[in-house]
Structures are given as structure tokens and as C-alpha cells.
Structure 1
Amino acid sequence: MPIPVNESSIERSLLRDDVFHRLRDAIVDGSFEPGEQLRDLELAQWLGVSRTPVREALLRLAEVGLVVARPGRSTVVGDLDVAGVRDAREVVAGMHAVAVRQAVGRLSEADLDEMRAANARFAAAIRAGDLEAAHRADQELHGVPLRVAGNRAIAAVLEQYTPVLRRAENLRYATRAGLRSIEVHDALIERCAAGDALQASVVTYDTWHTLTDEPRSRPEG
């Protein structure tokens, strides 16, 4: 028999994702501060939705450590956990390194120019103290090899763990230490342009470690 078309279920799915992204972004950009209590009724009213997608979004946010759910008590914005940032950093760094390795050799001159332009915008934003613009330019730069690689599994993993690092970046970019990322981006683009997939992946891995000064082991060649 024909499978019934249920448009409402599709709409609900899109709504859940939209609510999740709105709440996630508000936590990452600091609109909701660490320790702040999140009440599903107030959030639902703010977003103009029912409480169900808000509750589902909060559960997803708890899974990645952005909120802390206390059953029967409250849900609060999580603190920036050092161990959580470290774990997320390793996953994100590894995924970007794989994506770059897959993309090198397929990047066109137009792709490389797009990366160079994004880094120029990133540098200007860092020097101007515009964190939102810096994040946007950084995403655009790293988004080029991700797009060219076209690996949907990598994209799915990054969707889950990158927001944890974005919170750390807000602190990192607020200092002159963020200038280090400009140089690393330049090195990445140079290696990509040279067609050196291995070194490009190593530089990419290092890019995500400018968030901390902890020692790290690089991926095997």
C-alpha cells in the first residue's frame, strides 16, 4: 500500500532542529551565561513554540555538555569544562584534518581564493575585536575544504562537537592570542595550494589546538 504523506511530522522535525540551533547559538555566543537557569516555559514563549521541542532541545544540549540537567530541579547553562573542551577539540581537530586530506588535490584556485579572503576577514575581525565576525570568517574558511571533501559523516560529527569549542573560542579570540590563528590559517592555505595533503592535515589539526596551550600528539601520517 502507498506510504501516507505526513507533512506535519516533517515540520515538527524542522522545528526541533531550529529550536535546538537557536538555543545552542544563544549559549555559544554568551547570551545565556554559565550557571543561568533555563526554564522551558520561558524559552518556549521566547521562541514562540510549545514546550515539547524546547525540552527535546535541552536534552540534546545536555548530551554535548552545553547544559546541565538536574532531574526534578532545574536545567542550567553548563560551565566551560576544561576536560569537555579538550575532548571536543580532539574530535573536531581530527575530523577537520581528515576532511582537508580528502579535499587537497580537488581544491580549485577559486576555492583557495575563497579561503584567503575568509582569512583576511578573520584577521580584520580579530583586530577589531568583533568576535561574531571572526567566528563567521573562521567557519567560512574551514567550510571550504569541508564542502569540497563532501563527507557527510564528518559534517554530522562536527555539528555535534564544534559548539563546545566555539564557547572556548569566544575567550580565545578576546585576547591577542587569537592572532596566532591568522598565521596558522595562512600556513594551511599554503599547504593546500602546494597540494601537500599530509602537511595540510597536520596544520589543520594544529589550528584547533591554538585554543589551548596543552601539548598534543599529532595524527599519524
Structure 2
Amino acid sequence: MPVPERLGVVARSLLRDDAFRAIRDAIVDGTLAPGERLNDGDLAQWLGVSRTPVREALARLEEAGLVRTKPGRYTMVSPLDLRALRGAQSVTTAMHELAVREALPNLSAAELDAMRQANARFAAALRANDVDAALAADDEFHGVTVAASANAALRSVLEQFTPALRRVERLRFSSLTGRGSVAQHERIIALCEAGDVEGAVAATRTNWQTLAHLLETAVDEDEHGSDEG
């Protein structure tokens, strides 16, 4: 399995969570591509850890739908699966709607300002075609209401299902289709500031549902690419 040449990117003293995040991020950013076989020894060498945290990380990634395992045969990066992605989108959308509903009654002026600043960084990243920065700013924007909801269960669900969608969102934010999210974010902020809970929830739903068409496109492209390979 080809892995990045840079070794030891995770310090040996760090635990399985760090291995999980490093492998997850490599899958999300495409360093480890859909369908690629994974070897725990190669991953352990790359991350600078033992095989145990790598195996634990791979088990968690399988639960998140990013890794597929057939015992005794292979472990691989999950191909883009439309049904799984639709499921992840539905759950993620519902969690962000819930976050807005629970956060809005007590959302402070400082938190609204944090959303504006995140959206400004998001817009700037899109203009610069910086996909990584756009994804980070989008996370920051939605993370304000997630944090303000103070709902640990909600955060846990999002941590499990969001990474699968981020693989697809990289395509969205590298194209003109991502530009509409800036205006959608602005509308969410305005509705939150106005105290319109139902309006803000609906606007949040609309923002996350814009992924629907891209999910099908991404899966079609992945399948065609696999056929050609």
C-alpha cells in the first residue's frame, strides 16, 4: 500500500485517537483513495506508532463507514457508496437542525459574530480555491451552534458521520457549486439573530441538503474511475 513518504507524523506517546484522526484525515483528503488496500504495518510505520492503535483506529473507521474489512482477506478504504452517503447526509442534516434548535434560544452576540467570521474565512477560502481552508471554515461555522447546543450525544453522532460526507464536500468546495453556501450561511445567521428558530432550522436543512446531487455525481465518477482502472 502506498503511504505518504513523511514518517512519524504522530508522536509515539499519542494514543489511538491520534491514529484514528490521522488515518481519517488521509481518507477524507484523498491521500488514501477509495478502494485502496490498507496494511496495518505500513500505517503503523507511517504514523510512528505500534500496530495496536492502528488496528483500533481501523475498527472505528469501519464503524464510521470509511473503511471496509473482510477478516483474513483485506482491509480497504471504503468506495463511495450512495446508500451509505445518503444515510450519513440524513443523519448529519438532522443533527445540525437539532443543534440550531437547541442553541438558538441562548445564542449570544459573540457566537453570532463567530459565525460571521467563520463565513468570511469560508468565502475567502473559496475565492482562493483553498479547499482545505474552506472545509475548516465550514466546520467552524456549523461548530458554533453545535458547541452552543451543549449536547454531547449530538457531537458524538456528527463525529461519526461527518467524515464520510467530507470526502464528497471536497469536490463541492473545489467547484462553483460551493459558492452558494456563503449566502446560505448568511441567511442562517440572519435568522438566528432574529430569533426565528423554525426559519433557522429550515435554512440549515437547505444548506446540508445541497449535497444530495453531488453525492450521486461523486459515486458515479468513482465507479467509472474504478471501471477504467
TM-score normalised by length of structure 1? 0.88
2:43 is matched with which residue? 43
**1:146 alignment counterpart:** 146
Aligned length: 202
Which residue is 2:200 aligned to?
A: 200
Match of 1:136 in 2: 136
| Cα distance in 1 between the residues matched to 2:189 and 2:103 | 12
Residues 180, 210 of structure 1: 8 Å contact kept:
no
CA displacement at 1:40 relative to structure 2: 0.3
SS of structure 1 residue aligned to 2:75: strand
What residue in structure 2 maps to residue 166 of structure 1? 166
Deviations 1:56-84 (A, max 9, x none): 11111112221111221221111121111
Q: Percent identity at matched positions?
A: 54
Cα distance per residue 1:12-68 (max 9 Å; x no partner): 9x6111111111111001111112111100101111111111111111111222111
Q: Which residue of the partner structure matches residue 64 of structure 2? A: 64
Unaligned 5+ segments in structure 2 are 1-11, 215-229
SS in 1 for 2:174: coil
Q: CA RMSD in A?
A: 1.5
Residue 22 of structure 1 is matched in structure 2 by: 22
Aligned residue for 1:75? 75
**2-structure distance, mates of 1:205, 1:80:** 23
Counterpart code for 1:130 = D
* Distance apart, 1:209 and its partner CA: 1.1
Counterpart of 1:19, as a letter, is A
Unaligned stretches of 5+ residues in structure 1? 1-11, 215-221
Q: Which residue does the alignment assign to 1:109?
A: 109
Look up the equivalent residue of 1:96 and give its one-letter code.
H
Q: CA separation in 1, counterparts of 2:186 and 2:115? A: 9
Per the alignment, in what secondary structure is the counterpart of residue 162 of structure 2? helix
Question: For the residues of structure 2 that align with 1:131 and 1:174, how far apart are their CA atoms?
Answer: 6
User: What secondary structure, in the 3-state scheme, does the structure 2 residue paired with 1:212 have?
Assistant: helix
Which amino acid is 2:24 matched to?
R
What is the match of residue 219 of structure 2? none
List 4+ stretches of structure 1 deviating above 6 A: none
Q: Who is 2:93 aligned against?
A: 93
Q: Please tell me whether residue 122 in structure 1 is matched to residue 122 in structure 2.
A: yes
Distance in 1 between residues matched to 2:83 and 2:168, nearest whole Å: 12
SS state at 1:104 partner: helix
Deviations 1:98-127 (A, max 9, x none): 110111121111111111111111011112
Distance in structure 2 (CA, Å) of the matches to 1:30 and 1:66: 12
What corresponds to 1:32 in structure 2?
Answer: 32
Tell me by how many angstroms 1:160 deviates: 0.5
The residue number in structure 1 matching 2:191 is 191
Residue 85 of structure 2 aligns to which amino acid in structure 1? V
Q: Is the 8 A contact 1:123 1:182 kept in 2?
A: yes
Residues 105-154 of structure 1: CA deviation (Å, up to 9, x unaligned) = 21111111111111111011112111110011001111111111111110
Structure-2 separation of matches of 1:146 and 1:72: 40
